[in-house]
Amino acid sequence: MKRNFRFVHLALQIVAVVAFLAGFVLPAHAFDAEASRETLKGLTGFYVLIEELNPNIVKYANVQKNDISTQQLKSQVENRLRAAGIRVLSWDEMMKTPERPMLYVSVNTHEYEKFWYAYDIRVEVRQLVALVSQPGKPISGATWSVNMTGVMNIGQLQTLYDNLGLLLDRFIQAYGAVNKK
């Protein structure tokens, strides 16, 4: 038990250092603030893109008779958006929308001891933006984001779904704050 605590403590320290350093390495970072919320104004819907999951967590989840998949996460996100009255766009609809709005979700996991994972969940809005130096060449960029980092045992897989739900609630609140019905 004491050994497991040391590993969990070490993993938390590593995650904290990486998160701290990432703040210095990524100066153009979107987050949930008044300015980034303004970038959500007028967007009529979102295509949902879920990053592929780490194969280790999927493998161990199946062994433990727990279910997690990219498709399950996509369904959860799309259902939450629809329940909140936010339109979910197909790929073709998104490509026909001038801003090309996308809700990008990444559930990144790293196994540091058998059945123990450090995780980072990110919910991010990506849309076309123009660079000041090249205004005629729009590129896809993150304009709003939130994330959550933690540690869990494979038996606590529901933690990923629950924390993703919390981040989706933050997005829905941010979107609603600038898109009054």
DSSP the chain: -HHHHHHHHHHHHHHHHHHHHHHHH--S---SSHHHHHTTTT--EEEEEEPPPPHHHHHHHHHTT----HHHHHHHHHHHHHHTTPEEPPHHHHHHSTT--EEEEEEEEEEEETTEEEEEEEEEEEEEEEETTEEEEEEEEEEEEEEEEEEEEGGGTHHHHHHHHHHHHHHHHHHHHHS--
User: Cβ(73)–Cβ(107) under 8 Å?
Assistant: yes
The token pair that represents 161 in the structure block: 């779904």
Residue 156 has pLDDT above 70, yes or no: yes
Q: Which of 109, 93, 110 is nearest to 101 (CA)?
A: 93
- Confidence grade of residue 7 (pLDDT, cut at 50, 70, 90): low
Could you read off the pLDDT of 57-90 as tens digits, one per residue? 766 665 555 667 788 899 999 999 999 999 999 9
Question: What is the predicted pLDDT for the residue at 66?
Answer: 61
pTM for this model (two decimals): 0.78
Could you read off the pLDDT of 95-118 as tens digits, one per residue? 999 999 999 999 988 888 887 888
Given the DSSP bridges, would you call strands 87-88 and 45-50 parallel, antiparallel or unpaired?
parallel
User: Cβ(128)–Cβ(43) under 8 Å?
Assistant: no
CATH number listed for the domain at residues 28-178: 3.30.160
